[in-house]
Amino acid sequence: MENSRKKLYSAVQPTNNLTIGNYIGAISQWVKLQDEYDCVFAIANMHAITVRQEPANLRKRTLELLALYIACGIDPKKCILYLQSHVPCHAELAWVLNTFTYVGEMERMTQFKDKSAKHADNINMGLMDYPVLMAADILLYQSDVVPVGLDQRQHLEITRDIATRFNNIYSPTFTVPEGLFLKVGAKIGDLSDPSKKMSKSAENVNGSVFMTDDRDTIIRKFKRAVTDSGNEVKYDPQNKPGVSNLISIYMAFTGKTVEEAEADFAGCGYGDFKLAVGETVADKLAPVQAESERLLADKGYLEGVLKEGAERAFGIARKTLSKVYRKIGFYQL
């Protein structure tokens, strides 16, 4: 990796199927970013277990997500691609950072409140401590930037607070990361309710288009998508949230501007518009799905990627952790 470039860190959990919202807001952006930054991309399986997971399913989804990363264009030769649990430094640094994080800060986190409401039978310490582990993820690699959606802004802020607090006590140790707020596709709405973010765990599966959905399923979901009053295909998030959401998806998959997208559908009825967007998405996903299936059939290759990624990630993470241990007074051999 080139030392002159800024370092970037991001991660996705291997839980449920990824949606096209995840693809637009994260993975497709990563493909571009790997040519601009020294990128470290993780499969965040340690974060995943804050909610109960079926073990065999978690292992299966881990490889599926890795295959999807690569099929989408993330190149293990251009970046570090690894599994979070393969680098013990994440848990070790998280424990240290816990002692620089206040209970009140964690209790105020929006995601803790939301997930506690959804999983009232399993409000565990991991659920509350999630942002500290996320801080450890980011700070281990001395990350300069972290691509974040609007819903992750609070997590980045607590990461910055913890890093600054530690640096002020022990002298500069961590790079204080900046947020890289991606404008295109930062929030893709649910097809059934555009006011909600398209989610991997939505109760209504028709509102989320998954990366593994077949062509017929994709088109059926788009045909059922909520639109608005009137019949003009126009980008107006305030007054036409349904149509605007579909235009956002169309722009993300074609690279077209608002003006170009509106021109494509000038005089077009909502039915034809929704069908066209669905076909565009299905056409774009078909080669990604085929490549993902090919990679999944080569388990040896995928495990090789994880092994090399873990070794490279550990080399960087261990340097940071050793520095932290020295600063706080841990006796090291």
Written as tens digits, the pLDDT of the chain (333 aa) is: 446 799 999 999 998 788 998 888 888 889 999 999 999 999 999 999 888 889 999 999 999 999 999 999 999 999 999 999 999 999 999 999 999 998 888 878 777 667 666 767 777 787 788 899 999 999 999 999 999 876 678 889 999 999 999 999 999 999 999 999 876 555 789 999 998 888 877 778 889 999 999 999 999 999 999 998 888 899 998 889 999 999 999 999 998 999 999 999 998 999 999 999 999 999 999 999 999 999 999 999 999 999 999 999 999 999 999 999 999 999 988
pLDDT at 184: 55
Residue 157 and residue 288 share a domain: no
d(CA 35, CA 31): 8
Q: Is 113 a catalytic residue?
A: no
d(CA 267, CA 193): 25
pLDDT at 119: 67
Of these residues, 7, 197, 240, 274, which one is catalytic?
Answer: 197
pLDDT at 183: 63
Q: Is 196 a catalytic residue?
A: no
Residue 158 and residue 28 share a domain: yes
Residue 92 and residue 72 share a domain: yes
Q: Output the domain CATH number for residue 240.
A: 1.10.240.10
pLDDT at 2: 46
Count of domains observed in the chain: 2
| pTM (predicted TM-score) | 0.88
Residue 169 and residue 81 share a domain: yes
Of these residues, 7, 115, 221, 274, which one is catalytic?
Answer: 115
pLDDT at 143: 97
Of these residues, 187, 200, 234, 327, which one is catalytic?
Answer: 200
pLDDT at 229: 85
Residue 110 and residue 13 share a domain: yes
pLDDT at 166: 98
d(CA 183, CA 54): 35
Dihedral angle sign, alpha carbons of residues 118, 119, 124, 130? negative
Residue 323 and residue 275 share a domain: no
Domain span including residue 20: 7-181+299-328
Q: Is 200 a catalytic residue?
A: yes
Residue 248 lies in a domain: yes
